[in-house]
Amino acid sequence: MKRYMHLMSDYAFKKIFGSEENKSILIKFLNAVIPNEDKIIDVIFRDKEALPFQEDGKRMVYDIYCLTHDGRHIVVEMQRAFQPTFSDRALLYSSHLLLRQLRSGNAYEVAPVYGIFLMGFNMIDQTPALCRRVSLMDEDRHELFSNKLKLIFLDLKEMTKNSLEECLNPIEEWLFLIKNMENMKDKPNNYPTYDELFEAADLSSMANEDVVSYSQSRRKMQDDMEGMAYFGRMQREEGREEGRLSTLIEKAKQAKEMGLPDDIIKSLFGL
């Protein structure tokens, strides 16, 4: 077994970033990801289940939901498997935290909400980017309309650095470790910021029952990754077959225009 947990597994991600014992790790991560804001000093973990506003509505369960010391709401989600409507899901999850703040007599005043989404895939209809920040903007004037809702998408598929030393900023460092820590034999020198992270992810210091829980989660992640790879291969094969068939049909049309009999065309092209 490897020395460190794979931080993209469900068990490891929630233990490292969503537990009271490792709260300081989450705070360091948030301060690296959320720029140009007052530094987060402390967080309070909140109930991760959000009940629907209507009887037939969908129940939401966040990976991590917390409040900062100054009242900002933050949800952190890990989504490994491809989801075609992930942008809608991210918007709904984050907007839900705005609506939950609505109380009688509060004049619609709400605290800022941050949605931080780590993904193992590229989003549909978006240029691939390691870090994408989305805010409510005035389209004509290119000005920030409101600072009350901010979405941050972190695409782990775009993390292609081969070592921690190649990373250019804290966000790249964090994403490199989340994606690659399992394959590291020891914590790197000259990076004391991540000492706590390596200690918390060290399997040799964990109780047997925790190692078993992690192993089960790790196998589930591997199954998901193999399923995604198989789906990708099938899509590529279908695309090649469609291309081959399209070429045959075009050649058959040309043969038809040249006056070849149908039975000859069928024999030549297998159509």
In this prediction, residues 35-51 reach a mean pLDDT of 83
User: Which of the residue ranges 121-125, 174-178, 222-226, 233-237 has the most confident prediction, judged by mean pLDDT?
Assistant: 174-178
List Cβ neighbours of 134 (8 Å cut-off, separation of 6 or more): 150, 151, 152, 153
Work out the mean pLDDT of the chain and round it to a whole number: 88
pLDDT tens digits, one per residue of 157-215: 999 999 999 999 999 999 999 999 999 999 998 999 999 999 999 999 999 999 999 99
More confident: 232 or 149 = 149
pLDDT tens digits, one per residue of 109-160: 899 999 999 999 999 889 999 999 999 999 999 999 999 999 999 999 999 9
Q: Confidence class of residue 228 from pLDDT cuts 50, 70 and 90?
A: low
CB 46 within 8 A of CB 66: yes
Residue 76's nearest CA partner among 126, 40, 128 is 40
Phi (first) and psi of residue 9, to 5 degrees: -70, 150
Longest dimension (CA), the chain: 82
The separation between the first and the last C-alpha atoms of the chain, rounded to the nearest angstrom, is 53
- Does the pLDDT value for residue 20 go beyond 70? yes
Predicted pLDDT of residue 266: 76
Q: Confidence class of residue 54 from pLDDT cuts 50, 70 and 90?
A: low
CB 88 within 8 A of CB 48: no
- Does the pLDDT value for residue 232 go beyond 70? no
User: pTM of the full predicted structure?
Assistant: 0.81
